[in-house]
Amino acid sequence: MRIVLDAMGTDGAPDSEVAGAIRALREIEEDIEIVLVGDQEILQAEVARHGTVPLDRLHFEHAPDRVLSAEASASVLRKRPESSIVKGLRLQREGKADAFVSAGSTGAVMAASLFILKPLEGVDRPAIGTVLPTAKEPVLMLDAGANVDCKPHHLVQFARLGNIYAQDLMGRELPRIGLVNIGEESEKGNELALEAHQRLAHDPELCFVGNIEGREIIHGSCDVLVCDGFVGNVLLKFYESVAQFIVEYLRSYLQRAGTQVALDEALCVLDYSEYGGAPLLGVNGVSIICHGSSSPNAILNAIRVAAQAVRTSMVEHVARELRSKEPA
Amino acid sequence: MRIVLDAMGTDGAPDSEVAGAIRALREIEEDIEIVLVGDQEILQAEVARHGTVPLDRLHFEHAPDRVLSAEASASVLRKRPESSIVKGLRLQREGKADAFVSAGSTGAVMAASLFILKPLEGVDRPAIGTVLPTAKEPVLMLDAGANVDCKPHHLVQFARLGNIYAQDLMGRELPRIGLVNIGEESEKGNELALEAHQRLAHDPELCFVGNIEGREIIHGSCDVLVCDGFVGNVLLKFYESVAQFIVEYLRSYLQRAGTQVALDEALCVLDYSEYGGAPLLGVNGVSIICHGSSSPNAILNAIRVAAQAVRTSMVEHVARELRSKEPA
């Protein structure tokens, strides 16, 4: 399989991308090939710094342009046709690659993926999934920010998309679906949650376990957590920052107390880079979005996720499931 | 001043309430009196266990009934007229007390406060404020769950209510108002946030600092954080549980590593009980809602907050400000 990596996405591009790609070629068992997209000269120079590299499985696609993070996402296709994001995604649409990974602007990757890969039949609103560490197994939360105003049937579609992702990528046989809400009882919630609850509860294809309160999320009592993209985005960013804050706070407290403790090992449970990137689910292709601050390890893990999505034919699985369904 | 304390609210009532009330009588400088509401016989027996108590400042109001947490909040007034919540709030409405504190069901305290105290003129939707610990000063977030479906002008009212609370109770001279949103830019957000942003930005009475992303909340870059009650409730409960999870996780990790560290002191920055209860803002009276699991210390701090609200004439301040305003 061939995975396209946008090499101009991270804040310090292309260092993390190139290092992550080379580790992926060395460490991922499968016979994967990687296409680095970006300024070819710069990329080749960076690759040359890495010593022996399996060059037969590393390819380059020259993209002279780059999307800046401040740009309006909607105009990326028109204004940046030669950017690494647009050129990388086109490779997949043209059948020259199987998956796309980028740490570029989330909005730009999302918009370009929607335009170039297109939504699958039966999907109104592709959604961004994101894996949250919990006290038990990680949970897939979606939507993490693609759709800020949602109708109840969109939340049901997110549940169906997440259901397949959790099966194919997270090894959950019968994923438990939860709905973010302000109370456990089915009569709790805003208009969106009340109606979505009823629809989810009556969906015969889903194992709906009911409402999940804010305090319940961290306990990992479901596999897929559904919410609109506004709530999901706020929750996700809040989680990352709170975890970091508490850890930094405790670290400095322990230092002041003269205690030498290696917290880093303890904290890898909270390390997002361990979970790879966030998939854009519901498009006709594999598109994985990484943090702009991704380390080589985060890039490696995102490539791993992309490879797994290709290996399990996740997109065909989603297409089959959603095409055959009644409207949500 | 006279503060009414619902003595039947916490899970282990009335122990925490009685202990908290007695500490308040001993420790709060002001000439406060407390009215304990609940089964008078039980309360007097509990008070007797505490040795010397300033009984001249401790009063009892017999309430034979109690609201159960599972009950529908809306029917509390009709079904539980003899409950400690209803009888306690009536004392304030009748002018026999200045403030009310309860650790009973949030929904029941809120519904009874709305019915008995009534919203102030010019307030469509009273809101629950809650104080979040941050890396800097604590932030008042509202609404924390009273109103799950909001219009933009409700969010502006929350900002005005929070603005006064932050001045009177938190010592912020010119409170910085932030709006929970998915991006910093004014054109980011769902329909509600987009419109609320415009209205807040053009309100001459408010020091609006713009959108606050999920990752920014913990950095304490504003004094008042506005959102609808759905988002606020999910965020609040999530915060409490994540903080607790990380702390417990690190505690057990450090124990396994054989490190003896007293984390408790380090963690009081994250201890909600330090901040007292959550005020219901916008009603014609002082109503402070505490956790069902409140310790005596949490009850003491909630009484402190209630006393401060009375001392600063917060309700009159809110009434004056909102009555004179153009509709939000």
Put simply, the answer to whether A241 touches B219 (Cβ < 8 Å) is: yes
What integer pLDDT is reported at residue A267 of this predicted model?
A: 66
What is the spatial distance between Cα B28 and Cα A32, in angstroms, rounded to a whole number? 69
Q: Is residue B95 part of a domain?
A: yes
Judged against a pLDDT cut of 70, whether residue B292 lies above it is answered with yes
Confidence label for B225 from pLDDT (cuts 50, 70 and 90) = very high
Confidence label for B255 from pLDDT (cuts 50, 70 and 90) = confident
Arithmetic mean of pLDDT, B45-58:
92
Rounded mean pLDDT of chain A? Answer: 92
Largest CA distance in chain A: 62
A79-96 confidence digits (pLDDT tens): 999 999 999 999 999 999
Q: What CATH number does residue B236 fall under?
A: 3.40.718.10
Arithmetic mean of pLDDT, A108-134:
94
What integer pLDDT is reported at residue B254 of this predicted model?
A: 75
Q: Is residue A8 part of a domain?
A: yes
Judged against a pLDDT cut of 90, whether residue B70 lies above it is answered with no
Q: Are residues B267 and B183 in the same domain?
A: yes
Is the CB of A184 inside 8 Å of chain B's CB atoms?
Answer: no
What is the spatial distance between Cα B287 and Cα B285, in angstroms, rounded to a whole number? 6
Contacts of A216 in chain B (CB under 8 A): 241
Q: Is residue B199 part of a domain?
A: yes
Q: Is residue B176 part of a domain?
A: yes
Q: Is residue B328 part of a domain?
A: no
Question: Which residues neighbour A235 within 8 Å (Cβ) at sequence distance 6 or greater?
Answer: A141, A180, A217, A227, B214, B234, B235, B238
Of A129-133, A191-195, A271-275, B29-33, the range with the highest mean pLDDT is A191-195
Judged against a pLDDT cut of 80, whether residue B61 lies above it is answered with yes
Question: Which residues neighbour B158 within 8 Å (Cβ) at sequence distance 6 or greater?
Answer: B125, B127, B142, B143, B226, B281
Confidence label for A66 from pLDDT (cuts 50, 70 and 90) = very high
Q: Are residues B304 and B192 in the same domain?
A: no
Q: Is residue A319 part of a domain?
A: no
Arithmetic mean of pLDDT, A252-262:
72
Q: Are residues B183 and B271 in the same domain?
A: yes
Q: Are residues A132 and A268 in the same domain?
A: yes
Judged against a pLDDT cut of 80, whether residue A10 lies above it is answered with yes
Put simply, the answer to whether A233 touches B214 (Cβ < 8 Å) is: yes
Phi, psi of B282 (to 5 degrees): 105, 0
What integer pLDDT is reported at residue A328 of this predicted model?
A: 58
What integer pLDDT is reported at residue A268 of this predicted model?
A: 63
Q: Are residues B54 and B74 in the same domain?
A: yes
**Gap from B315 CA to chain A (nearest CA, Å):** 28
Least confident of A64-73, B128-137, B222-231: A64-73
Question: Is the pLDDT higher at A208 or at B29?
Answer: A208
Judged against a pLDDT cut of 90, whether residue B72 lies above it is answered with no
Q: Is residue B249 part of a domain?
A: yes
Q: Are residues A267 and A169 in the same domain?
A: yes
Ramachandran bin of A76, using left for φ above 0, alpha for ψ from -120 to 50, beta for the remaining angles: alpha
Print the SS3 string covering A209-222.
Answer: EEEECHHHHCCCCC
pTM of the full structure: 0.93
Put simply, the answer to whether B263 touches A246 (Cβ < 8 Å) is: no
Interface test with B, best of A143, A185, A190 (most B CBs within 10 A): A190
Angle between helices B152-170 and B314-323 (to 10 degrees): 140
Q: Which of residues 188 through 247 in chain A touch B, CB cutoff 8 A?
A: 189-191, 193, 213-219, 228-231, 233-243, 245-247
Arithmetic mean of pLDDT, B274-282:
88
Q: DSSP secondary-structure letter at A270? A: G
What integer pLDDT is reported at residue B264 of this predicted model?
A: 65
Q: Are residues B211 and B297 in the same domain?
A: no
What integer pLDDT is reported at residue B256 of this predicted model?
A: 78
B36-51 confidence digits (pLDDT tens): 999 999 999 999 999 8
What is the spatial distance between Cα B210 and Cα B227, in angstroms, rounded to a whole number? 12
What is the residue type of B223? D
- A14 neighbors A7 (Cβ within 8 angstroms): yes
What is the spatial distance between Cα B315 and Cα B168, in angstroms, rounded to a whole number? 10
Contacts of A236 in chain B (CB under 8 A): 214
Phi, psi of B140 (to 5 degrees): -90, 120
Print the SS3 string covering chain B.
Answer: CEEEEECCCCCCCCHHHHHHHHHHHHHCCCCCEEEEEECHHHHHHHHHCCCCCCHHHEEEEECCECCCCCCCHHHHHHHCCCEHHHHHHHHHHCCCCCEEEECCCHHHHHHHHHHHHCECCCCCCCEECEEECCCCCCEEEECCCCCCCCCHHHHHHHHHHHHHHHHHHHCCCCCEEEEECCCCCCCCCCHHHHHHHHHHHCCCCCEEEEEECHHHHCCCCCCEEECCHHHHHHHHHHHHHHHHHHHHHHHHHHHHCCCCCCHHHHHHHHCHHHHCCEEEECECCCEEECCCCCCHHHHHHHHHHHHHHHHCCHHHHHHHHHHCCCCC
Q: Are residues A88 and A133 in the same domain?
A: no
Question: Is the pLDDT higher at B154 or at B328?
Answer: B154
Arithmetic mean of pLDDT, B28-40:
91
Least confident of A275-284, A317-326, B28-37: A317-326
Q: Is residue B183 part of a domain?
A: yes
What integer pLDDT is reported at residue A111 of this predicted model?
A: 94
Put simply, the answer to whether A239 touches B235 (Cβ < 8 Å) is: no
Judged against a pLDDT cut of 90, whether residue B98 lies above it is answered with yes
Q: Are residues B129 and B262 in the same domain?
A: yes
How many domains, chain A? 2
Closest partner residue to B182 (CB to CB) among A135, A145, A240 is A145
Q: Are residues A189 and A102 in the same domain?
A: no
Task: Go through chain B and tell me how many residues it has.
Answer: 328
**Gap from B216 CA to chain A (nearest CA, Å):** 8
B170-206 confidence digits (pLDDT tens): 999 999 999 999 999 999 999 999 999 999 999 999 9
Q: Is A300 helix (H, G, I), strand (E, B) or coil?
A: helix
Percent of chain A with pLDDT over 90: 77
What integer pLDDT is reported at residue B267 of this predicted model?
A: 66
Least confident of A8-12, A261-265, B151-155, B291-295: A261-265
Confidence label for A264 from pLDDT (cuts 50, 70 and 90) = low
Could you report the predicted ipTM of this complex, rounded to two decimals? 0.92
Q: Are residues B92 and B134 in the same domain?
A: no
What integer pLDDT is reported at residue B289 of this predicted model?
A: 96
Judged against a pLDDT cut of 80, whether residue A262 lies above it is answered with no
Contacts of A233 in chain B (CB under 8 A): 182, 214
Confidence label for B268 from pLDDT (cuts 50, 70 and 90) = low
Q: A12 is in which domain, residue-wise?
A: 2-123+282-313
Q: Are residues A151 and A47 in the same domain?
A: no
Residue of B nearest to A217 (CA): B238
